[in-house]
Amino acid sequence: MVLEDGSSFEGRSFGFDGSLCGEVVFNTGMVGYPEAMTDPSYKGQILVLTYPLIGNYGVPDDHPQAGLSAAFESESIHIAGLVVSSYSPHYSHWNASRSLADWLKAYQVPALEGIDTRALTKRLTQKGTMPGKLLVSQEDLQFHDPNTDNLVSLVSPKRPLRHEGGKKRIVLIDCGTKHGIIRSLLDRGLTVIRVPWDYNFLLEDFDGVVISNGPGDPKMCSETVTHVRKAMERHSTIFGICLGHQILALAAGADTYKLKFGHRGQNQPCIELATKRCYITSQNHGYAVDVQTLPADWRPWFTNANDGTNEGIRHCSRPFMSVQFHPEAAPGPVDTNFLFDEFLGSL
């Protein structure tokens, strides 16, 4: 593995034997690698897992229902590559159907083990996330920052999809949504109209709007921002999650910026400002909302307890709200799952 700053790490391949470029990021979760690897928000990224033992519970068997995966967060693996300290080839779990290595090879995803992920993570926290390369030969690949591409256009559906659930209809702007978000809406008796990132959803008949998570720079989603701003002018009920949080902020007139190394893992503490209560959240993002640029009729809702960055905003009088973390808890924890109920109550 070679980073853009010239540092390199040698290990053993246990995935697909291929070379690639991507943005090197790290995840601090102890479990949840199947969910993380199938999260479209990781598109174009080489994922470093800080927990040292990976693969010991294998990959779960999946039984999709109504077009949704029951075990994963999308239909395929989205990470560009995987880096771990120690891979466990012998797995044991009641729901496992194959090893992590076999799964990676099936989707042609390179992976490296035997890396000092502690040293690598410390370098990323000191210098920030950066482009890197996974090389299995002497290929001369050029470094590439995937954030310069419109990654959302690569993971968003090409046409609207409908998931029947109940009388109230929710437009889900799919910027690379996790299936957990769809499942959370369906579990509450809502019909989900899932639309592409640049689709004019204002032509649909709906009761509320959810803006999903997704990869890359939110400023690449100018069409989405435009449509959300028009929905705000109609006073539509809107709930943004992760990238959707950043898109709602841009539509409101605020600004976003790139974090040094982002927040990725299932152990991020967030404080609700009004109650001072702390929630442990699941996160995966590299950009944040600049709270200082929020218009006067908006207020911060949550803040990250580790670094003080913004984790949620809401309008002072209209039904617009968003959070930077993942209330659908896939993988957990489920601390903030109640936010879906709050959204339902505002319809």
Q: What is the pLDDT of residues 215-264, one digit of tens each?
A: 999 999 999 999 999 999 999 999 999 999 999 999 999 999 999 999 99
Q: Is the pTM of this model over 0.95?
A: yes
What element of type H or E holds 256? strand 255-272
Structure tokens at 179: 């299936």
Q: pLDDT confidence of 176, banded at 50, 70, 90?
A: very high
Q: Are 238 and 209 in contact (CB under 8 A)?
A: yes
Question: Regarding beta strands 53-54 and 86-87, do their DSSP bridges make them parallel or antiparallel, or are they unpaired?
Answer: parallel
Q: What is the pLDDT of residue 139?
A: 79
Q: Are 132 and 21 in contact (CB under 8 A)?
A: yes
Neighbour-count burial of 52, counting CB atoms closer than 10 A to its CB (0-12 exposed, 13-18 middle, 19+ buried): exposed
| CA nearest to 161, candidates 177, 150, 149 | 177
Sorted by where each starts, the structural domains of the chain and their CATH numbers stand as: 2-148 (3.50.30.20), 152-345 (3.40.50.880)
Catalytic residues: 242, 326, 328
Does the pLDDT at position 137 exceed 90? no
The strand ranges marked E within 71-142 are 81-83, 86-87, 96-98, 111-113, 130-134
For residue 98, the cross-strand partners are: 59
| CA nearest to 121, candidates 133, 131, 129 | 129
Structure tokens at 163: 């998931």
Once rounded to an integer, what is the mean pLDDT over residues 102-131?
A: 97
Q: What is the pLDDT of residue 330?
A: 85
Q: What is the pLDDT of residues 30-54, one digit of tens each?
A: 999 999 999 999 999 999 999 999 9
Residue 199 — left, alpha, or beta (φ > 0 → left; ψ -120 to 50 → alpha)?
Answer: beta
What is the average pLDDT score of the chain? Answer: 96
Once rounded to an integer, what is the mean pLDDT over residues 194-220?
A: 98
Q: Supply the DSSP string of 113-131, one letter for each residue.
A: ES--HHHHHHHHHHH--EE
